[in-house]
Amino acid sequence: MWQQYQRVWQANQTRPPEARKPLPLPDVSRAGYHQGEALPALELEPRDAGEASDKGSAAKGTAGESEKGALRRFDVTAYGADGSDTLSDRRAILKAHAAMRDWQRQGSDDADRPARRGVLYFPAGDYVVYGAAERDWFYSRLVALKAAVADAERQQALREALLKMQGLSLAGSHWTLMGAGSDVTHLKQTRPMLPLHASWYWSTPWLLHLGNLAEGGKQEEWQAVTPTSHRQPADTQDAITLADEADEADETDGAALAPGDEVLLESIDKRPEAVARALAPYQMEKDASTGESRWLIERDGVIKRARYRVVARDGKRLTLSLPVVHERFPGEQWRIARLHPAREVGVQGITLNGNWRGHFKHHRSAEDDSGFGLLDLDGITDGWVRDVRLDSFNQGVKVRHSSQLTLEDVTMTGKPGHIAMTISDSNQVLARQVVDQSHAWHAPGVARYATHNVYLELEHAGDSGIELHGQQSRDNVFDRKRGGHVRDRWGASVGHQPNHLRGLVLWNPVNTGKPHAAWHFMRADSHFGKVIMPTVVGATGHALGIANRHDYVRVMNAKGVTEYDPLPPMDALQARVESPGEAVKPASLYRAQRELLQETRE
């Protein structure tokens, strides 16, 4: 399969855009921070550039500035945090972050200098971010709220507004939350947070919420994109054309899309042929008694969305930072909008400690599902996480509404919880050397429109399975994954099936769990467990045989759920399979694609 990919990819470089052929595998060569560049090395003074003991000087000094821009450390202990006691450090952290943001804003008027970069620094120690004091404070105000407000709808709205403040929401670009190393710096949540709604088990806030904080970044108005007149394969064309009626504002007034802008490109197609194409070679599963479709993709339409940067403009023609990651078809209505994500946000050198000690039961309670959620990265472009450990959690890390992030050297420990790591509604995220030792119910995975993300050398337990949480994820790669395959661990409600659309790739996976003579990517015995024709290459370890499509189709027809005619042959598998039982070369798909890209650029 690699040889075929290589041939088509190289041939496409010499073809005109309209003649380029579909690639047999998704091109994830540009995943990661700045499309796969090395993460920045932060060289800091041994103390704050401005002493916080002089309450104003941390924002006024000029030490630490260089021709590469300013870099300044804001040590939380200089603002009152104490890593040697059990008292809350919440206020001190907020004060240090506010001082950093003030200092950054003071440098924002100088357009000739690069942005000021702040480091919110935690020396070795244990810092309480959410503990007994915070839990008691929020609980007492929730009790008072219930007593004071009788109207249920109003009470719920106020409850949500109040409880959203439980976690630390730290906004801004060009900054790093940094410890002295994950072995010595610990940020702690010692009590479970309260959910936004008593019956919304997923709704508990996160301990740390970093990014733009406006649900993925402030989005401006949509502008129409000219429809394509022919099929455009994914990963082959990096330009789009605005429709004639779009972007009519004078380009000099700042309203027009311009190089450097971050954008969201989206299509929603509710035509029956679009839904059928997304599910092929399968049919929509329907209720046998009512005939109603089980999956919401028919109601909501086929949704394709991803984030890019505009790198050039010529009239209505926009050149994007990477080839459009989705296939485009005639009749699809595409649109584009400017985004304002946070940029250059990093987290490194820390352990985030929850306090989950229970025996996990899936969807039993809010505490089981989300009581200790540790790190939420929301609306970030060009960010990173490295040397981070997450311990005793229900939810470890969530990346959402983001692009071009690298997460490396991330370890999960503690008692089994709900979800280890999720990449949701994001693209070009690279997660490498992630190790889940917590035996989470859902091992690291993807959800909700995620596309062109890579897990490189992921390790998780043999008694767990990756998360594939539905809502139209497509074209994601698990490269050299080690771990098990366990029923019912993918996630997703019935309505949000399939768990993953086309393009899921397992490249040289090693099964460390139970052997499977016939692993079902399309289960006939359940409303759950549906993946559309993944690719499995070089599977080794314990056996990972693949079930056939014939048996699934036959059972679905017998149940009155589908109407396949004719049935597929007995040897038609539920996945594209190559080299079962023997690893292939290249050992890593992601690394091979990057080498191919770099060779072409040279």
For residue 90, give the nearest of 22, 170, 144 by alpha carbon. Answer: 170
pLDDT exceeds 70 at position 104: yes
In CATH terms, the fold of domain 218-340 is Elongation Factor Tu (Ef-tu); domain 3 (2.40.30)
Give the separation between CA 241 and CA 225, rounded to whole angstroms. 6
Tokens encoding 476: 């994601």
- What is the tens place of the pLDDT at every residue in 24-76? 999 999 999 999 999 998 766 544 544 444 444 443 444 333 334 589 999 99
pLDDT number for residue 307: 98
Average pLDDT over the chain, rounded to an integer: 93
Cα–Cα distance for residue pair 364/126, rounded to 1 Å:
31
Mean pLDDT value across residues 488-514: 98
| CATH 2.40.30 domain residues, the chain | 218-340
Across the range 383-403, mean pLDDT stands at 98
Q: State residue 600's pLDDT score.
A: 85
- Helix, strand, coil percentages (3-state) for the chain, rounded to 5, are 20, 35, 45
Q: Judge whether residue 111 has pLDDT over 90.
A: no
pTM: 0.94
The fraction of the chain above a pLDDT of 70, given in percent, is 93
Read off the tokens for 456.
């490189």
CA angle 329, 330, 336 (to 5 degrees): 75
The helix (run of H) or strand (run of E) holding residue 300 is helix 297-300
Distance of alpha carbon 129 from the chain centroid: 24
> What are the pLDDT digits (tens) for 357-375?
999 999 999 899 999 999 9
The dotted CATH code for 31-58+70-210+341-440 is 2.160.20
Could you tell me where in the chain the CATH 2.160.20 domains are found?
31-58+70-210+341-440
The pLDDT, as a whole number, for residue 599 is 92
Q: Residue 113 — very low, low, confident or very high, per pLDDT cuts 50/70/90?
A: confident
Q: Which segments within 112-254 are labelled E, that is strand?
A: 117-122, 125-130, 168-171, 175-179, 185-189, 206-211, 218-219, 223-224, 239-241
pLDDT tops 70 at residue 248: no
Are 117 and 174 in contact by the 8 Å Cβ rule? The answer is: yes
In terms of Cβ atoms closer than 10 Å to its own Cβ (0-12, 13-18, 19+), residue 184 is middle
- Percent of the chain at pLDDT exceeding 90: 89
Average pLDDT (465-478) is 98
Average pLDDT on 506-530 reads 98
Looking at residue 215, its pLDDT comes to: 52
Number of helices (H), then strands (E), belonging to the chain: the values are 10, 36
Tokens of 78: 């200089």
